[in-house]
Amino acid sequence: MLSIVSIGPGWAEHVTPAAARALERAEVVVGYKTYLDLIAGFITGKEVVSSGMMKEVDRCKTAVERAAQGAEVSLVSSGDAGIYGMAGLVFEVCRERGLVPGRDVEIEVVPGIPALSAGAALLGAPLMHDFAVVSLSDLLTPWGVIEKRIAAAAAADFVVVLYNPRSRKRRWQLGRAREIMLSHRGPDTPVGIVKRAQREGQEVIVTTLAGFDEEVVDMQTVVFIGNSSTWSWEGLMVTPRGYGSKYSL
């Protein structure tokens, strides 16, 4: 059995009981070193296969192979494994190799708390209305596609959540995203920047679209850009659902 285990944003209390059970059952735990450190308490004494950032394809193949041979394997993914995580890659590898889930290898996806929920909770309630999530990583997606999606989400007045916003090597993309947003939204549009949500070193900044400092944004950051009715208040960022215009609050 291969369990693709979502471990949530960081703190152990955000690991669901179902994820904890899957980890407990595992003989082999496969994952990126940083994530395995987050769940060290759940995997003591187990066989651990860890590897660095760019090795996700190797990690996935190892996990699939070991499970197909009959081992109980947990493949660990941060946040929710089905959101820019390892789940899709597992099915791609299986499909490529003709390994049918349920016939050649048992696979389960254990859901978890994604960074967008972990971050939104710290900001208050920025995602109370329709939102779009865009990853700014152009390592696997052409930049032209990313720009088109940001522009479409901006034009349609979605709250926009940016994943993978800025790394040491990818520095200009966030500025370009801001420019596109500014061509559709006011400079005072609230922006929430959440670093290391629900893990060691957590930081929350509420600022504006024109005013935010790109330098504070790194790869452990998720950026929330409000829609035209989002407001900031007392360090919070809230997108009203519309109750206020219908009911007396």
Residue 124 has a CB neighbour count (10 Å cut-off) of 20
Nearest to 37 by CA among 199, 202, 217: 199
159-218 residues near ligand SAH, rule: CB under 6 A: 163-165, 194, 196-199
Contact 116, 222 (CB under 8 A): yes
Specify the residue, 91 or 229, whose C-beta has the smaller distance to ligand SAH: 91
The whole-angstrom separation of Cα 247 and Cα 242 is 9
Part of the chain binding ligand SAH (CB under 6 A), chosen from 24-32, 38-46, 76-84, 208-216:
76-84
Residue 179's Cβ-count burial label (10 Å; 0-12, 13-18, 19+) is: exposed
Element (H, E) at 134: strand 131-135
Specify the residue, 33 or 241, whose C-beta has the smaller distance to ligand SAH: 33
Single residue of 7, 9, 64, 178 touching ligand SAH by CB under 6 A: 9
Specify the residue, 180 or 197, whose C-beta has the smaller distance to ligand SAH: 197
Q: Any idea which residue has 């829609």 for tokens?
A: 227
Task: Check residue 236 and report its DSSP letter.
Answer: E
Specify the residue, 173 or 220, whose C-beta has the smaller distance to ligand SAH: 220
Part of the chain binding ligand SAH (CB under 6 A), chosen from 81-89, 120-128, 148-156, 179-187:
81-89
Question: What residues line the site for ligand SAH (CB under 6 A)?
Answer: 9-10, 77-80, 83-85, 114-115, 118-119, 163-165, 194, 196-199, 219-222
